[in-house]
Amino acid sequence: MRKNHRRLAIAGTALLGLMFSGSSLAWNLKEAAQPYKGVTINVVGLERPSYKAAQALTPEFEKETGIHVNWTTFPYESTLKAETLNFVSQSGQYDVVLSDVVWPVTFVDAGWVVPMKHFTDNPKLADPALDLKDFFPVWLASFTVNDKLYGLPFDSYAGLLFYNKKMLADAGFDGPPKTWDELYNYDKKLTNKDKGVYGYVLQSAHNETQTADAFARFLWPWGGRFLDIGQKKVMVDSPDSVAGIQFRRKLVKLMPSGIVSDDHPQVIQMLIQKKAAMVTEWSSFYTTLKQSPIGDDIGVAVEPKGPKKAASAFGGFAYMVSAQIPEKKQNASYLFIQWLTSKEMAKPLIEKGAVVARRSADTDPSIQADNPYLKPMVATWEHSTVPDWRPQLQCYPQFSNIVSDWGSRIEQKRLPVKSSLHDMADALQKYMDSSDCWAHANQPEKYISKYESKSAQ
């Protein structure tokens, strides 16, 4: 009798196991998308390589699912405006919305996007192979607000040091600089203003580039930061922050005076035309540089360490589902996001020039061999960056305007560093206090451990 019970128990367990593994095996995109066949979803994209790669691969998704995908691409500067107007007017124009790493708090607090859990808890929609822990924790943390994940990362960047190997070798250097102090010494040796050749140039245009590239880059590695959210205090005039911006002034003296108006394309051109030996730029520029006339001479490494810590630039995007569209469209939108950011799609996307935050693809030796930027990018995301490189505030755009105005004036050498940073801090503090911005601040750093523990599992 007892034997029979045991046999029954084993058989039951096996049956249950088969049922669950069966349902797991049974999930496929085509069947999951069956109820949404014929639905059209509108996706926001940027005029950047990752989105070109995604658009090139989209017909595969359409063929598999019968869901039609309409892409609308914007220049970065217009994207937040277009999406905000879409939400405020409740036009339902965009279903799959793009969020920069500094926008999720705006979208979430206004109730414009749906938490990912809403979809991942639905076995009919959630691909068992989604494998969230394959995304780098820093990226999942960046799109987590109030302990809920709102987007899946796509088009993810790390700041990297791109350099001309030949120019460095000709100057007697056998590798890229490891610290900012070393970079300064390289810079002094490589710069020859009479010949119009510069050791290092820094994109500094008066817009988001000034804030994210030219200013933040010289805060964090020196131990500085924008805000102490717990104390509700602006920190851009702390002694560490001042030391970083004073170091930037030293570097700027060796750059062309027009650098303060140069954006990403101009510094990349200077590197391509051998007018600059080193730039610190986003990982997404690797493809452009590789395809340029100096492609074989391009070297890529992690950004130099600062005196206090290694902290490289951090930026990128995630796809989210609009909360203002019918459920049918939301589900179809989720299926698209899940497909685009899947492990399976990571390799073809990288081959077409996209940058993705999938650990399995980014650390694959065969993919790394063709894409040398992946190794330093992974190292950056794992060891040397901060998710709130720029603070996650609902009022971030105006915050960034103030930083950009002051940062640009200081870089022009028109103002003394210390007192100007103090004035900048006053202006930011006044704005933060008067706009109730402190109440809408997100601290993604606190979620990293949550995702790290998941990764470790």
Partner 1 sequence: MSQTPIKPEYKQPWRERLAPWFFVSPSLVLLLAIGLFPVIYTGYYSTFNWTMGFGTPSFAGFGNYVQALTSSDFGWSVLRTLILLAITLPIELVLGLVIAFALDSAHNVWLRRALQVCLVIPIAITPAVIGLLAQLMFNQQFGIINYLIGLIGIAPVDWLGGSVSAFATVVAVHIWEWTPFVALVLSASLSTVPTDIEEAVMLETDRWWPRFKSVILPYMWPGITAALVFQTAFTIKSFGMIYSIAQGGPGTSTMFAMLQIERTAFRGFNIGLASAESILMLIMSIVLARIYIRLFYTDKDD
What does the binding site for partner 1 look like in residue numbers (CB under 8 A)? 80-81, 84-85, 87-88, 106, 109-110, 112, 196, 205-207, 210, 256-262, 266, 269-270, 273, 275, 394-395, 397-398, 400-401, 404-405, 408-409, 411-412, 414
Residue closer to partner 1 (CB basis): 53 or 260: 260
Distance CA 396, CA 124 (A): 37
Q: How far is the CB of 60 from partner 1 (least distance, A)?
A: 35
* Cα separation values, 83 from 41, 178, 366, 454, Å: 15, 40, 38, 32
Question: Terminal CA-to-CA distance of the chain, rounded, Å?
Answer: 40
Q: How far is the CB of 406 from partner 1 (least distance, A)?
A: 8
Q: How far is the CB of 181 from partner 1 (least distance, A)?
A: 26
Residue closer to partner 1 (CB basis): 252 or 349: 252
In three-state secondary structure terms, 236 is coil
CB atoms under 10 Å from CB of 207, counted, come to 15
Distance CA 275, CA 195 (A): 9
Name the amino acid, one letter, at 6: R
String of DSSP letters for 152-180: EEEEEEEEEEEEEHHHHHHTT-SS--SBH
CB atoms under 10 Å from CB of 440, counted, come to 18
Q: How far is the CB of 263 from partner 1 (least distance, A)?
A: 9
* Cα separation values, 218 from 109, 177, 226, 402, Å: 30, 16, 11, 17
| β-pair type (392-393, 276-282) | unpaired
Residue closer to partner 1 (CB basis): 78 or 453: 78
CB atoms under 10 Å from CB of 296, counted, come to 9
Residue closer to partner 1 (CB basis): 77 or 174: 77
Residue closer to partner 1 (CB basis): 166 or 409: 409
Residue closer to partner 1 (CB basis): 120 or 207: 207
The answer to whether 228 and 170 are in contact (CB under 8 A) is no
* Cα separation values, 137 from 420, 431, 451, Å: 36, 32, 5
Residue closer to partner 1 (CB basis): 352 or 409: 409
The answer to whether 37 and 9 are in contact (CB under 8 A) is no
Residue closer to partner 1 (CB basis): 106 or 338: 106
The answer to whether 203 and 404 are in contact (CB under 8 A) is no
DSSP state letter for 212: I
The answer to whether 189 and 198 are in contact (CB under 8 A) is no
Residue closer to partner 1 (CB basis): 165 or 409: 409
Q: How far is the CB of 419 from partner 1 (least distance, A)?
A: 16
Residue closer to partner 1 (CB basis): 276 or 357: 276
Q: How far is the CB of 245 from partner 1 (least distance, A)?
A: 15
Residue closer to partner 1 (CB basis): 81 or 309: 81
Q: Residue 221, exposed/middle/buried by CB under 10 A (0-12, 13-18, 19+)?
A: buried
Distance CA 290, CA 292 (A): 6
Q: How far is the CB of 378 from partner 1 (least distance, A)?
A: 33
The answer to whether 199 and 275 are in contact (CB under 8 A) is no
Q: How far is the CB of 106 from partner 1 (least distance, A)?
A: 6
Q: How far is the CB of 410 from partner 1 (least distance, A)?
A: 9
Name the amino acid, one letter, at 190: L
Phi-psi region of 146 (alpha: psi -120 to 50; beta: other; left: phi over 0): left
Q: How far is the CB of 271 from partner 1 (least distance, A)?
A: 11
Q: How far is the CB of 83 from partner 1 (least distance, A)?
A: 10
DSSP state letter for 303: P
